[in-house]
Amino acid sequence: MALMQRVLSGIAPSGDFTLGNYLGALKHWVTFQDSSDALYCVVDLHALTNDIEPAVLRHNSLDAALNLLAVGLDPARCTVFVQSHVTEHTRLTWLLECTATYGELSRMTQFKEKSVKGREAVRAGLFTYPALMAADILLYDTNVVPVGDDQRQHLELTREVAVRFNNRYGDTFVVPEAAIPGTAARVMDLQHPERKMSKSVTSPLGTVGLFDPADEITRKIRKAVTDTDGEVRYDREAKPGLANLLELLAAATGRNPADLARDYTRYGDLKNDVAEALNELLTPVRSRRAELENDLPYVHRVLAEGAEKAHTIAAATYTRAADAMGLLPPTAD
């Protein structure tokens, strides 16, 4: 019997989850539970590259865990944990920082964008965190990483570091592949369809929160930017606002956005159907979230058990990598 492929992904506890997080990532995570050995983590260590209050980080980390369970991740079918609860993440990071090069890390887009105003004030963690991301992946002998297209660069670095390590120290790490969703891989801002919908960018009408009330979602969809020619067709370059709405409907219904466009002659009808489909999709998520909020001991138990399972895998991988690099193993009592 063939072994199931192992899948791993993580999400930062950086604020309220958006529709973009759900359709671009989390919805696909749920589908991997039955076809793969899936591990999903709240990457709280990544949040430390930003200026965040300790109480806010703790709140956001638990909130993120609640959201992961609310969207349909089932601890009986996958492993859900918090990154910092498995110490091998930071231990392996140092080994990978000593494998990656300065040039590779300095070319990472996020570091370049955030350091454009002056590198003297940028935290060192922002520069080195791609090594932590690589450790997150390589610790679990991960075969497949579901990523948005904006994360391809980090996965490519992970692959390059893994290959380099294996070539120098012997076969140690599994070299992962990307799984990039097709429809709605990038959900765009409803008011600024040229940019990705993000929980870190303030856009009151452009960002749909995962737990927005139904009437609020409807209001935002109806106010979404389109264009003035009145022709309903799927054209991402010429009609980005309309394409975004068609992609949202496609992601919610499982249909093709170009095919959907042929069903409409008026923008208003399309917007009504998008709003209805999204509310139907998110209603069970909101209900499950409310249940979980009333049973926090269960959530903490899931995270503790998930960390224990993750640690068992991660410890073996770290020991293998440390031994390959020549670190002296601790002696038994």
- Catalytic residue positions? 114, 196, 199
Nearest to 258 by CA among 274, 248, 247: 247
Residue 117: helix, strand or coil by DSSP? coil
Residue 22: helix, strand or coil by DSSP? helix
Which residues lie below 8 Å from residue 72, measured CB to CB, with a gap of 6+?
30, 285, 288
Rg, Å, the chain Cα set: 21
Residue 256: helix, strand or coil by DSSP? coil
The distance in angstroms from the start CA to the end CA of the chain is 39
Nearest to 234 by CA among 251, 253, 258: 258
Number of residues assigned to the chain: 333
| φ, ψ of residue 264 in degrees (nearest 5) | -130, 145
Using CA atoms, how far residue 136 sits from 113, 133, 184, 207, 310, in Å, is 23, 5, 25, 29, 11
Beta strands in 175-326 (DSSP E): 177-179
- Tokens, residue 155: 């996965």
146 forms beta bridges with 179
CA torsion sign for 95, 99, 100, 103 is: positive
Do 287 and 72 touch, CB atoms closer than 8 A? no
In angstroms, the CA 134 to CA 150 distance is 16
- Tokens, residue 194: 């040229």
